[in-house]
A and B are shown apart, each in its own frame.
Chain A
Amino acid sequence: EDKVVQSPLSLVVHEGDTVTLNCSYEVTNFRSLLWYKQEKKAPTFLFMLTSSGIEKKSGRLSSILDKKELFSILNITATQTGDSAVYLCAVKTGATGNQFYFGTGTSLTVIP
């Protein structure tokens, strides 16, 4: 059975801290891994990763994929209160068409 596991489930940090969120997966026919940020409402797209070892960056956020060890990390440096959200990892497999398997998310709270 395909599964996506995120850790930690929740995290509380102070502004300025650096955090690392983890996503591990066991799926057949891996195609891509995506990270989303979910605040109060709909998830918004952050990154898509398909190749091992290639870092994607956007401002203070970065992410990398390890297809050998089957995981990805999302790093956030110099955290701000606006980074408080649930971060979702989703893995696309080629086995069942156009769908992703989502992890349960990591809830990040950044306190001033």
Chain B
Amino acid sequence: NAGVTQTPKFQVLKTGQSMTLQCAQDMNHNSMYWYRQDPGMGLRLIYYSASEGTTDKGEVPNGYNVSRLNKREFSLRLESAAPSQTSVYFCASSEWGGEYGYTFGSGTRLTVV
């Protein structure tokens, strides 16, 4: 099925460990995004990539890095995980400007202990 695929779905890390969240879309969208969702905070943008070859910081980029590997793939890396990064992470993609909304992946539930 066409859409946005995220892996893994669940992950538990120890403080200080690193990991990469993978995201791929097959809708030929230009723009891709990483959000985190915390109780009472809504969805907050971490990083986005308006097009292949570009990335920009969002609202809460500290502690994260991203790579837009090609048009399909956009990964999020935690270099040294902290308990404050315990959250549900969503990848999304859109056409230029996202005027017609995003298509979201199914999310990754990350717990840092």
Chain A positions within 8 Å of B, measured between CB atoms, are 4, 31-32, 34, 36, 41-45, 48, 88, 90, 92, 97-100, 102-105
Q: Which residues in B have some Cβ–Cβ distance to A below 8 Å?
A: 4, 31, 33, 35, 40-45, 48, 50, 56, 58, 90, 94, 96-107
Instruction: Please name all residues of chain B whose beta carbon is closer than 8 Å to the beta carbon of A44 when the two chains form the complex.
Output: 104
Known A-B contacts A45-B102, A48-B99; A98 and B43 likewise in contact (beta carbons under 8 Å) = no
Cβ–Cβ contact B42 & A88, under 8 A: yes
A104 touches B41 (CB 8 A): yes
Known A-B contacts A92-B99, A102-B42; the reply to A41 vs B106 at CB < 8 A is: yes
Known: A42-B105, A42-B106. A98 touches B98 (CB 8 A): yes
Q: Which residues of A contact B31 (CB under 8 A)?
A: 98
Q: Which of B96, B99, B105 has the most CB of A within 10 A?
A: B99
Contacts of B33 in A (CB 8 A): 98-99
Would you call A45 and B42 a contact (CB within 8 A)? no
Q: Are B94 and A34 in contact (CB under 8 A)?
A: no
Report A70 CB to chain B, min CB distance, Å: 18
CB-based contact B42/A105 at 8 Å: yes
Residue of B nearest to A6 (CB): B42
A-B contact pairs, 19 of them (CB 8 A): A4-B42, A31-B99, A34-B101, A36-B101, A42-B90, A43-B90, A44-B104, A45-B100, A45-B102, A48-B99, A48-B101, A88-B43, A92-B98, A97-B48, A98-B98, A100-B98, A100-B102, A104-B40, A104-B42
**Complex contacts, B35 vs chain A, CB 8 Å:** 102
* Pair A43/B98 contact, Cβ less than 8 Å: no
With a cutoff of 8 Å between Cβ atoms, the chain A residues found around residue B56 in the complex are: 97
Give the Cβ gap from B52 to chain A, nearest Cβ, in Å: 13
The answer for the CA separation of A12 and B16 in the assembled complex, in Å, is: 41
Shortest distance between the CB of B87 and any CB in chain A (Å): 14
Tell me the smallest distance from the CB of A13 to a CB of chain B, in Å. 22
Chain B residues with CB under 8 A of A42:
4, 90, 104-107
Q: CA separation between A77 and B40, bound complex, in Å?
A: 26
Q: How far is the CB of B68 from chain A (nearest CB, A)?
A: 13
Known A99-B33, A99-B98; 20 more pairs at CB < 8 Å: A31-B99, A36-B101, A41-B107, A42-B104, A42-B105, A43-B102, A43-B104, A44-B104, A45-B101, A45-B103, A92-B98, A92-B99, A97-B50, A97-B56, A98-B48, A98-B97, A99-B58, A100-B98, A102-B42, A104-B42
